Amino acid sequence: MPDSKTPDFYHIDSLLSNDERQVRDTVARFVDDRVLPIIAECFEHERFPTELIPEMAELGLFGPTLQDYGCAGLNNVAYGLIMQELERGDSGVRSFASVQSGLVMYPIHTYGSDEQKKRWLPEMARARKIGCFGLTEPDGGSDPGTMKTRAEKKGSDWVLNGAKMWITSGSIADVAVVWAMTEHGVRGFLLEKGTPGFTSRDIPHKFSLRASVTSELFFDNCRLPESSRLPTAEGLGAPLSCLTQARYGIAWGGVGAAMACYREALEFCRNRVLFGSPLINKQHMQIRLADMVRRITTGQLLALQLGRLKDQGEMHHTQVSLAKWNNVRLGLDIAREARDILGAGGISVECCPVRHMLNLESVITYEGTETIHQLVVGREITGVAAF
């Protein structure tokens, strides 16, 4: 078994601090011991491994960058390495962690009242409470400004109506961060499971992220007290800032998935003897493997520098767009390439590339499609919005 840094063609390991390395190796071990032995079966049977949640919480994988509330207070590079390792296991497992940390704990921490923070963050760090993030609606996720979910003020309460779609962890969540249009623009609400009028339904027939729960949420005259609104979240910028957090993690995750596929392809080429010699002896195969390493190395460097910028407080969301685009694209391309290299065996879920390949079809779409990120970068360099 190769160690957790393979491939590390540019000795990027030496650019990491001891803390960062130790965090990565701890999570790598968890992924090797706990995730990899069960994940193919989960994917095949469309089952999210809920049994891993308490262990992930015990490890401190939820809200790991927060300083308080029982969290580890890691820097963003260490956080990225966690995401890389989780996605080396499976995008579904990484998605769960991304949502819990980046899309639920982050907005509560950033936009929540003290009371909301005290109530939710320690419970969420321990995963005694699970969260989901409801922004996308059935009529077009790329343009959330046109959302139809409405919150209306009635006396001191809010009344919520509408629906959200493609919501990760939707039906297993104890609380949903729901973004709704109000008279004064977009606002965020903490909607608890069991609130009258709030229902959910899982989305079946997925051929991607099968080891992850994806649901629809329905709000039929849900009454919410003012205290469940995130007080300082005003406008679309608030949910978009959450997405910046989660996309940052995905930029690392794409590399993790690529590393898993590369390792399996390399191992296969070492062992597969065709026309008298192992596949690694073939020029064409070497070019394909070398090209994987080229792409992974650029992705690793991109993610690391992005993390350093984030830790210095200098990361711009357009840089996150470029990294999400680049690293998910390289993950998807490498997964497809590895699938092909493995021949017929590559179509079996017993090999990881086909699973990663199918998963990454979701990852390239959610948290802003590849096209949207290209247009974000395009707008940044030209000054013209072309959406």
Partner 1 sequence: MRILTIVKHVPDSNVPIKVRPDGTGIDTTGLKYVIDPFDEFGVELAVQLREKRGDVSEIIALTQGPEKAAETLRVALAMGADSAIHLSDPIFESFDELFYASVIAEAVTKQSTPFDLVLCGKHNIDLDAGAVGPALAEFLDLAHVGAVTNLEITPDGRRFTARRRIEGAEEVVEGALPALLTIEKGLVEPRYPSLPNLMKAKKKPLTVLTSKELPGSASHKASAQIAYVTPPPPRPECKFIEGEPAQMAHELVRFLRDEAKVL
Ligand X SMILES: Cc1cc2nc3c(=O)[nH]c(=O)nc-3n(C[C@H](O)[C@H](O)[C@H](O)COP(=O)(O)OP(=O)(O)OC[C@H]3O[C@@H](n4cnc5c(N)ncnc54)[C@H](O)[C@@H]3O)c2cc1C
* Active-site annotation, residues: 367
Which residues within the stretch 187-226 sit at the binding site for ligand X (CB under 6 A)? Answer: 209, 214
Q: Does 92 bind ligand X (CB under 6 A)?
A: no
Closest CB 177 distance from ligand X, rounded Å: 9
**Taking the complex as a whole, how short is the minimal distance between the CB of residue 184 and partner 1, in angstroms?**
39
> For residues 371 and 190, what is the distance between their CA atoms, to the nearest angstrom?
30
Of the candidate spans 5-13, 182-190, 293-301, 358-366, the one that interacts with ligand X by CB under 6 A turns out to be 358-366
Can you tell me which of 17, 142, 146, 277 binds ligand X, judged by CB under 6 A?
142
Six token digits for residue 306? 């992005």
Is 135 a binding residue for ligand X by CB under 6 A? The answer is: yes
Selected binder of partner 1 within 16, 23, 105, 191 (CB under 8 A): 23
Size of interface with ligand X, in residues (CB under 6 A): 22
Contact 38, 99 (CB under 8 A): no
Nearest to 35 by CA among 269, 367, 352: 352
Sign of CA dihedral 313, 316, 321, 322: negative
Whether residue 138 contacts residue 96, with contact meaning beta carbons closer than 8 Å, is answered with no
**Shorter beta-carbon distance to ligand X: residue 17 or 371:** 371
Burial of 5 (0-12, 13-18, 19+ CB in 10 A): middle
Choose among ligand X, partner 1, none what residue 365 binds, the Cβ cut-off being 5 to 8 Å by kind.
ligand X
The amino acid at 185: G
Residues 54, 140, 185, 343: which binds ligand X (CB under 6 A)? 140
| 98 is a site residue for ligand X (CB under 6 A) | no
The entry of ligand X, partner 1, none that residue 74 binds, CB within 5 to 8 Å by partner kind: partner 1
Q: Which does 110 bind (CB under 5 to 8 A by kind): partner 1, ligand X, none?
A: none
Tally the C-alpha atoms within 13 A of residue 379's C-alpha that lie toward its C-beta. Answer: 13
Task: Determine the Cα–Cα distance for residues 28 and 89; give it in Å rounded to an integer.
Answer: 9
Q: How far apart are CA 89 and CA 3, in angstroms?
A: 14
- 267 binding partner (options partner 1, ligand X, none; Cβ < 5 to 8 Å by kind): none
Round to whole Å and give the CA distance between 260 and 6. Answer: 9
Provide the b/e sequence for 201-235 (b: ≥16 CB within 10 Å): eeeeeeebbbbbbbbbbbbeebebeeebbbeebee
Q: Is 244 in the site for ligand X (CB under 6 A)?
A: no
Query: Closer to ligand X at the Cβ: 161 or 369?
Result: 369
Examine residue 171 and tell whether it contacts ligand X (CB under 6 A): no
29 in contact with partner 1 (CB under 8 A): yes
Residues binding partner 1 (CB under 8 A): 1-5, 8, 11, 13, 18-19, 22-23, 25-26, 29-30, 55, 58-61, 64, 70-74, 78, 82
